Amino acid sequence: MVRILIVVAASVFLGACASVRREPVNPVIAGWYADPEGVVFDGVVWMYPTRSRPYDQQQGFDAFSSTDLVRWERHEDILDRGTFLWIRRACWAPSVVKRDGRYYFFFAANDIQKDGEEGATGGIGVGVGDSPTGPFRDLLGKPLLSEFHHGAQPIDQFVFRDADGAWYMFYGGWGHCVMARLRDDFTGFEPLPTGETFREITPGGYVEGPFVFVRRGVYYFMWSEGGWTGPDYRVAYAMGTSVHGPWTRMGTILEQDPSVATGAGHHSVVNVGGAGAEDYRIVYHRRPLGETKAEHRVVCVDRLEFDEEGRIVPVKMTPRVK
């Protein structure tokens, strides 16, 4: 197994990109992948998707890195499986952050169906590593979160650091979204300002896949709606003034285009502008036309733009380039 880590300063990243085409060719990586999180570490764009395979074959993750959004380097098997003894199947939807020089890899595993299900430990786990490719070792020796709160299946976590340094986790499947504040060492949770440890924040239409980012002081809370196996999978969003809301639903910004692809959803947003500039991209999966198998999803990248009032302009999916 070969691992390649490219680390450059943001200025070098921008300089390199100026001399090459920066418009990705969709899908940007080969193979069936889904639920991608995009993130920039030290000027390099990293992408962490789900291996889109039958559940029992989803027992690990690959990462991808790029300095131009066009050429992507694959880094295989980034989990140290010898330390995650509780993983059985259904490893989904990574969220990766950097804290104090180390990298933390959050993900869901085992597709648990209820609390205390016999022989079915699972939920949201966290690994730690010294680089964006790990290898990520189990931080706790067990899931970080293995219980249901407010009806939310413990999957699809997104980890967000607010301006004051506090870390939050947004997560939840089965039509419920929950937010919680992480301890600074990521070993558990602490109460929110409301006194709750787990607060339900489910917006209308929510199914799964929450994501939060901030632009020009405005908070954007995003999620996926519809059925993940069907053509109507899509992304909607709300706007707010803080990580705690209140949130105002704004509408749908990514959905199927019968001339391009269907089932477009479970996304992330990454600003590749660097050095205070803005160049936002939406990283998401979609289903190629004619594909009907649930696992047949591909990862794509398109521009994310805003109007003068900060609202997100509906995304135009770029077609596959043959």
| 3 domain-assigned | no
Residue 313 per-residue DSSP state:
P
Q: What sign has the CA pseudo-torsion 315, 297, 105, 208?
A: positive
pLDDT-derived band of residue 119, with 50, 70 and 90 as boundaries?
low
Asked whether the predicted pLDDT for residue 200 surpasses 60, the reply is yes
Asked whether the predicted pLDDT for residue 7 surpasses 60, the reply is no
| 275 domain-assigned | yes
Q: With contact defined as beta carbons under 8 Å apart, do 318 and 22 qualify?
A: no
- Average pLDDT over every residue of 173-183: 98
- Whether residue 302 lies in the annotated active site: no
| 315 domain-assigned | no
**Distance between CA atoms of 239 and 270, rounded to whole angstroms?**
17
Residues counted in the chain: 322
- Average pLDDT over every residue of 239-265: 97
The runs of H, that is alpha helices, within 97-186 are none
> In sequence order, which residues have a C-beta less than 8 Å from that of residue 223 and are 6 or more positions away?
177, 203, 205, 206, 207, 208, 209, 210, 211, 235, 236, 237
Residue matched to tokens 């990586």: 29
Asked whether the predicted pLDDT for residue 15 surpasses 90, the reply is no
Continuous segment of H or E residues that includes residue 10: helix 10-18
Q: 68, 208, 225, 302: which one is catalytic?
A: 208
- Average pLDDT over every residue of 192-219: 97
- Whether residue 117 lies in the annotated active site: no
pLDDT in tens, 261-310: 999 999 999 999 987 899 999 999 999 999 999 999 999 999 999 999 99
Residue matched to tokens 């180390």: 102
Q: 35, 37, 62, 73: which one is catalytic?
A: 35
**Distance between CA atoms of 248 and 239, rounded to whole angstroms?**
5
Q: Give the count of domains, the chain.
A: 1
Q: With contact defined as beta carbons under 8 Å apart, do 32 and 52 qualify?
A: yes
Q: With contact defined as beta carbons under 8 Å apart, do 141 and 128 qualify?
A: no
pLDDT-derived band of residue 321, with 50, 70 and 90 as boundaries?
low
| 218 domain-assigned | yes
| 216 domain-assigned | yes
Residue matched to tokens 């995304």: 315
| 254 domain-assigned | yes
Asked whether the predicted pLDDT for residue 18 surpasses 60, the reply is no
- The pLDDT value given to residue 186: 98
- The pLDDT value given to residue 9: 37
Residue matched to tokens 């030290």: 42
φ, ψ dihedrals at 55, nearest 5°: -50, -45
Residue span of the structural domain in which 73 resides: 10-303
Check residues 161 and 119 and name the one with the higher pLDDT.
161
Taking phi over 0 as left and psi of -120 to 50 as alpha, with beta for the rest, 233 belongs to beta
What CATH number did the domain enclosing 42 receive? Answer: 2.115.10.20
For the record, the structure tokens of 58 come out as 């989803």
| 317 domain-assigned | no
| 148 domain-assigned | yes
